[in-house]
């Protein structure tokens, strides 16, 4: 317990100055009254900084080998690696913020992963597997996940309706793509994943309207201030 020689009071804890006269206290410190707690935000920020440093440092080493030590002409794979590292850090940042909901995270992951898959396909010499297979599969999985969120997790329902509508808007993409391919006569077996995605989009939209129509209408009225 510390003492103030001027106010003649005793002050517990680890304070260095008197709370009344602001003079220096004498005596020894007591144990802290409250434990020192590190906030989750600080821990998350530290984790993100450590992961970012290690990932970017590894990318710098890879770029040094790619650009400086390999003399023959080749594809600079370190640039592709950098793109995936930045995308991974963006996803990690979204997860550590802890201010996300399921449907929103699924929609953001759909955009990020689809963009990176298309970029990877283009970087390696476009073969079409990204748009013909991977992207429609990702869209279908996202639609199904958000449809499940809307019915299994009631606290996700209000936000989930909005993001499910955004994902159903993604279903317009296969429709436009199929119309273009039919018009150009280039529709073939590669279009089957997009046809399946279009079917899933229509089914989830019908389920949303039939089972969550009232909640959907109230959510739209709230968003549009009607």
CA distances (Å), 30 to each of 3, 5, 27, 71, 188, in order? 12, 18, 9, 66, 79
Cα distance between residue 115 and residue 18, in whole Å: 60
Per-residue tokens: 31 = 């144990």
What whole-number distance in Å separates Cα of residue 137 and Cα of residue 4?
72
Q: Would you say residue 163 has pLDDT above 80?
A: no
Instruction: Tokens 């119309």: give the residue.
Output: 179
The answer to whether the CB of 141 falls within 8 A of the CB of 195 is: no
Lowest-confidence region among 38-47, 133-142, 193-202? 38-47
Per-residue CA distances from 206 to 68, 168, 170, 173, 215 (Å)? 56, 11, 15, 18, 14
> Radius of gyration of the chain from Cα atoms?
28
Average pLDDT, the chain: 80
Average pLDDT over residues 191-216: 81
pLDDT band, very low/low/confident/very high, at 196 (cuts 50, 70, 90): confident
Determine if the pTM surpasses 0.75: no
Angle between helices 192-224 and 135-152 (to 10 degrees): 40
> pLDDT band at 39, cuts 50/70/90?
low
């Amino acid at each position: 317990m510390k003492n103030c020689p001027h106010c003649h009071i005793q002050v517990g804890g680890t304070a260095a100055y008197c709370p009344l006269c602001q003079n220096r206290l004498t005596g020894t410190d007591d144990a802290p009254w409250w434990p020192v707690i590190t906030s989750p935000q600080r821990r998350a920020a530290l984790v993100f900084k450590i992961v970012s440093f290690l990932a970017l440092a590894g990318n710098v080493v890879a770029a040094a080998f790619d650009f400086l030590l390999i003399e023959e002409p080749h594809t600079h794979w370190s640039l592709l690696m950098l793109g995936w590292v930045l995308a991974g850090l963006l996803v990690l940042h979204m997860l550590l913020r802890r201010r996300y909901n399921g449907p929103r995270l699924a929609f953001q992951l759909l955009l990020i992963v689809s963009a990176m898959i298309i970029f990877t396909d283009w970087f390696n010499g476009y073969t079409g597997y990204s748009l013909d297979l991977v992207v429609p599969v990702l869209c279908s999985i996202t639609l199904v996940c958000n449809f499940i969120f809307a019915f299994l997790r009631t606290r996700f329902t209000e936000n989930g309706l909005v993001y499910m509508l955004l994902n159903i808007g993604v279903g317009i993409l296969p429709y436009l793509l199929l119309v273009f391919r039919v018009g150009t006569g280039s529709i073939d077996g590669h279009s089957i994943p997009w046809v399946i995605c279009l079917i899933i989009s229509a089914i989830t939209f019908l389920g949303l309207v039939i089972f969550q129509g009232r909640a959907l209408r109230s959510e739209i009225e709230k968003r549009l201030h009607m």
